[in-house]
Amino acid sequence: MMDTATVNTATLRIDSQRLWDSLMSLAQIGATPKGGVCRLALTDLDKQGRDLFVQWAEQAGCTVRVDQIGNIFARRDGLDNTLPPVLTGSHIDTQPTGGKFDGNYGVLAGLEVIRRLNDQGIQTQAPLEVVVWTNEEGSRFVPVMMGSGVFAGAFTLDHVLVQTDTEGKSVGDELKRIGYAGATPCAPFPVKAYFEAHIEQGPMLEATDNVIGVVTGALGQRWYDVVVTGMEAHAGPTPMELRKDALLAAARLIQDINQIALDHAPHARSTVGWIDAYPNSRNVIPGTVKLSVDLRAASDDVLSAMDGELKALCTRLQDEGRVSLSMEQVVYFPPQPFHQEQVDAVRQASQHLGLSHKDIVSGAGHDAVYMARVTPTAMIFVPCKDGISHNEIEDAKQDHLEAGCNVLLQAMLQQAGVAGG
């Protein structure tokens, strides 16, 4: 290894083509006809993706360990291995109609940082680690962000190992089947900092012509299942004024739910993404409607206010006497601010590299949300085309991915320190 004191890490840049080629190689595992990726958690394709990452990490000189929920940690030693590592990573499982970059970019950007340091013979003071989190997407198993959630103590290992998919296959059995039921306890260990690079999955960076999103935190979320119950009746003989139309009531509710977020702009979100009407016949007045509600906000006070407004809407509709409503909250996690020192490291790296950047709040959940509960955490966003993600046409520019990885490199070096520097 060369004398790292002679290496000017301030001018160090990653190998853009190697990063891109790695992303394209991983994208072949589960490739779809429309150019996307279907690689669901703990399937044979997920095993192939994991095996490829492990192979690449070991070729880069890392030692690899797997914990009891299948999280993979690839470690590059530092000069002082008693120091807590600087950790980076994301996930490689996808949605059924996923893209090449969601999650995968964060994992392979971390690997590229290690590869580039190897190229230059640079040793950090503290160790570096790249992690692949298990089942971030939640498209096959729930809960979402499973691996990081167990690591951070949001869920117990025993609870998640018995969760099943639609075919009745359990997380625990599938981990064993693909060979990723590790022996390392899944529990927090001392970490100096956690960084996660990710495509934005939204339109703001592209719309404002910025290359880097300095992510200051993530919106809190409350999800609900709502059931509106009226009375099925014949569409012809039943007068309008005597109907108990559950779908009509649900339509009014949906419009008002949309208004909740508009009243708490700019960071509030409200979405009805799923609806089921019964009996779903063209000449029957709907008697039952089930729908989902997704509320998000940047502060817990606003999120609580939105929760109260949703409950008031349901009460008002029910008090009108034509329908009854029931509502169950099925997901809650509070807004998660990221840590100032690490956010500043991302901002400073962007400035140092001369990259246009803006502060941004993540509207989506990420493994970083759980990691922020147990270690200082920040995220780096880069644009994706038209803000589209969770879609086979998801796309990102190579130079933007390169820029985000260079920010990651500089931020990790700033936190880990350079031997001889």
Domain ranges of the chain: 4-218+335-416, 220-333
**CA 96, chain centre distance (Å):** 15
Where are the alpha helices (H) located in 363-417, listed in sequence order? 367-371, 398-416
Render pLDDT for 111-133 as a digit per residue (tens, 0 to 9): 999 999 999 999 999 999 999 99
pLDDT band at 367 (very low <50, low <70, confident <90, very high): very high
Render pLDDT for 143-160 as a digit per residue (tens, 0 to 9): 999 999 999 999 999 999
Q: Whole-number mean pLDDT of the chain?
A: 96
Asked if the model's pLDDT at residue 5 lies above 50, the reply is no
**What's the pTM?**
0.90
Q: What is the pLDDT at residue 333? A: 86
pLDDT band at 6 (very low <50, low <70, confident <90, very high): low
153 Cβ contact partners less than 8 Å away, ≥ 6 residues apart: 187, 188, 373, 374
Render pLDDT for 183-212 as a digit per residue (tens, 0 to 9): 999 999 999 999 999 999 999 999 999 999
Options 1.10.760.10, 3.40.630.10, 3.20.20.80, 1.10.287.110; CATH for 4-218+335-416 is 3.40.630.10
Q: Which H or E element spans position 342?
A: helix 340-352
Give the rounded percent of residues in the chain with a pLDDT score beyond 90.
95
Options 3.20.10.10, 3.30.70.360, 3.40.50.720, 3.50.50.60; CATH for 220-333 is 3.30.70.360
Span between the terminal Cα atoms of the chain, in Å: 14
Asked if the model's pLDDT at residue 410 lies above 80, the reply is yes
- Residue 267 bridge partners (DSSP): none
- Same CATH topology for 4-218+335-416 and 220-333: the answer is no
Read off the DSSP letter of residue 60: T
Amino acid identity for residue 175 in this structure = L
Amino acid identity for residue 322 in this structure = R
111: left (phi over 0), alpha (psi -120 to 50) or beta: alpha
